[in-house]
Each structure stands twice: as C-alpha cells, then as structure tokens.
C-alpha cells in the first residue's frame, strides 16, 4: 500500500496546479567519487526548457552515501564555462580539500580532494561556494546531499532505504524571468520547490519514513510542519511545507 505525501511550499504567487512527482537524485558511494559539473536544461514548467547546472546530470547533484572512517578520493571536473568550487558543507575537512572561495576549479579542470570522513552519521550537503557566484551556481541547480552512516546510527531502528523510506527533501526557492530562465541576486525568488520540483508529491510507503530536510535556499527560512493536526493519520498522510512570512 502506498501513500502520497503532498509536498507543497506555499506562498508568494506559487499557484497550486498539477502535482508532480519529486525528483529523487541518484546516489554515489565507494572510495572513488567522480562528479562532473555541467550545464543542462530542466522542465520546471511542463514543456518549457530552463537553463540549469547540475553535477552528473541536468539539475541537482547525486546523493553521496559515505561511511564514517572511509577515505574518499574525489574527482570534481568543471565542465561549466565559469570558474566554480565545491564546498562539503558540514564535513570536517582540511582547507585544501574543501572548496571554499579560495579553492577554485577553472573551466576544464579537475580538482582532486582526498580525505577521510571524520564526521558522525548525519545529513550534510555540497554546493559551489565561489565568491559572488554561490547564489548563481546553487540557484542554477548544483546542490547535493551527503549522507554519512556510522555504526551508532546503524543500530537505531530507523528507515535507511534511500528513495524507498529514506528521502531527500531539498527546499529551495528560485526566481524566473519572463522566459522562465533563472535569475540570481534578486529578492523576488518566489517560486518554491522540493528537489527542483514545483508542487511536488512523493509516493511513500505506509510506514515510518525518514525525511532528510535541507534548506538549500540562498536566503530563505521555511516553517516546516504537518497539515491539520500534528498527528499522522494513515489515510491522510499529508505533509505541508509552509512558507515563513518575513
């Protein structure tokens, strides 16, 4: 038996029309992770191509599933026409292995950080962090989750089947121009989305599920809650993400 979670971000001119199945990014694991940052297109609106950026795809980035204690060799190739970086948000790494504004990857170059995962099981993320360009590259689409696992977490009675009962929920807002192309550095990023999907729904099993909620927005805060009572009813498993007024 399947239930539908309704993942809706309300507010700011976001009209409620057709529900769309949210994107569940692919996963990458192992001790050698290859990422290619590239441009692409994505249909945020049915039938309309919007220019985007992604890692190993047109939009968003693969979810990295890593184990505490593992040593990982990364290869991050910049196939964009712009310099960028990749920052491992929340992970404890040496500066040379972290793509803050100082560790740039020029177009056509491959950056090869290598480090041991020191952090406990949790949800982290990665995204470009170039000075003055973070908003542009993240808004265009480069953002991915990092799920770190460890022995302590493995003993807990929690869902951990990615995409089946353990779901990424990346909350973002974007601003589109008249041609439905993404704008940056505006204060009118009023189109809210979950996993790059406007008016998203998720076909979830009727059991306890795990949602790894990320605020991947450049400047927004979200109130996240349940619709109706704070009780999850089997027949009406409806979640509603409410936009904060500010």
Closest by alpha carbon to 146, among 44, 57, 216? 216
Those residues with Cβ within 8 angstroms of residue 112's Cβ, 6 or more apart along the chain or in another chain: 73, 74, 75, 76
Q: Does 38 bind Cu ion (CB under 5 A)?
A: no
Residue nearest to Cu ion (CB): 89
Shortest Å distance, C-beta 123 to Cu ion = 13
Note whether 133 binds Cu ion by CB under 5 A.
no
Q: Should residue 68 be labelled a site residue for Cu ion when binding is judged by CB under 5 A?
A: no
- In the bound state with Cu ion, the residue whose beta carbon lies nearer, of 3 and 137, is 137
Which residue, 103 or 180, is less far from Cu ion as judged by CB? 103
In the complex, the smallest distance separating the C-beta of residue 219 from Cu ion, rounded to whole angstroms, is 13
Q: How far is the CB of 78 from Cu ion (least distance, A)?
A: 18
For residue 117 the two structure tokens come to: 């995962």
Residues 72-101 binding Cu ion (CB under 5 A) are 89
CB of 22 to Cu ion, least distance (A): 22
Interface residue list for Cu ion (CB under 5 A): 89
């Amino acid at each position: 038996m399947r239930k539908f979670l309704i993942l809706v971000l309300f507010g700011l001119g976001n009209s409620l029309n057709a529900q769309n199945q949210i994107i569940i990014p692919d996963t990458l694991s192992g001790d050698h992770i290859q990422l290619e940052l590239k441009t692409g297109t994505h249909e945020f609106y049915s039938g309309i191509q919007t220019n985007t950026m992604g890692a190993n795809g047109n939009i968003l980035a693969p979810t990295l599933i890593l184990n505490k204690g593992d040593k990982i060799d990364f290869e991050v190739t910049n196939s964009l026409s712009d310099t960028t970086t990749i920052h491992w948000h929340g992970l404890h790494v040496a500066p040379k292995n972290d793509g803050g504004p100082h560790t740039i990857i020029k177009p056509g170059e491959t950056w090869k950080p290598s480090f041991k995962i020191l952090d406990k099981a949790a949800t982290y993320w990665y995204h470009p962090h170039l000075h003055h360009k973070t908003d542009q590259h993240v808004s265009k689409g480069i953002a991915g989750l990092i799920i770190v696992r460890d022995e302590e977490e493995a003993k807990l009675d929690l869902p951990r089947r990615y995409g089946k009962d353990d779901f990424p929920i990346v909350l973002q807002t974007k601003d589109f121009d008249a041609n439905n192309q993404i704008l940056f550095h505006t204060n009118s990023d009023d189109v809210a989305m979950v996993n790059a999907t406007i008016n998203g729904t998720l076909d979830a099993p009727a059991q306890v599920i795990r949602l790894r909620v990320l605020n991947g927005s450049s400047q927004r805060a979200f109130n996240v809650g349940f619709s109706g009572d704070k009780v999850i009813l089997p027949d009406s498993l409806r979640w509603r993400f409410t936009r904060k007024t500010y």
